Amino acid sequence: MVVPRSWTQVSALPTVLAGDDLVTGGGGERLSHEEAVRALKFLTPVERFFCGKFVLRQLSQVRSVPRELSKYGVEGTVRLCSGRAINLYVALVGIVAVAFAVGGLGVVALPLFSLMALLLILVLLRAASATRAGRRWRSAR
């Protein structure tokens, strides 16, 4: 079986791992742990460090992942999972910022609210890149 070398050549195949190529079909299957770890290559090194474990957990446990795989492909699904993982950090930074603001330390809270806004922008960019990856994946099928 010939495995495509790029995502633009991907067709509806069952999940296959060969060399550096990771291809999924979308028949409702999940990625194995090894495939999920290799799929992290779509994330930046910083995202892999901060969100890698959260992404792997989502790929193995979230019920919507098989549907997302069929809709967005592996790259888009990993990017969606990364956006959801970043949301966790947004919530944590928000809680700390509110605590500082309520405590009267607005000087500390303002930079934290700014960081929270930047993280939210990153989540939106991640969702947009997942949509683009899904569009490319569907057009190549």
Burial of 34 (0-12, 13-18, 19+ CB in 10 A): exposed
- Does 114 have pLDDT greater than 90? yes
Give the pLDDT confidence of 1-24 residue by residue, as tens digits: 343 444 333 333 333 333 334 444
Give the pLDDT confidence of 127-140 residue by residue, as tens digits: 999 999 999 999 99
Rounded to two decimals, what is the model's pTM?
0.73
Alpha helices of 1-141 — where are they, by DSSP H? 33-39, 45-61, 65-102, 106-140
Give the pLDDT confidence of 60-107 residue by residue, as tens digits: 999 999 999 999 999 999 999 999 999 999 999 999 999 999 998 989
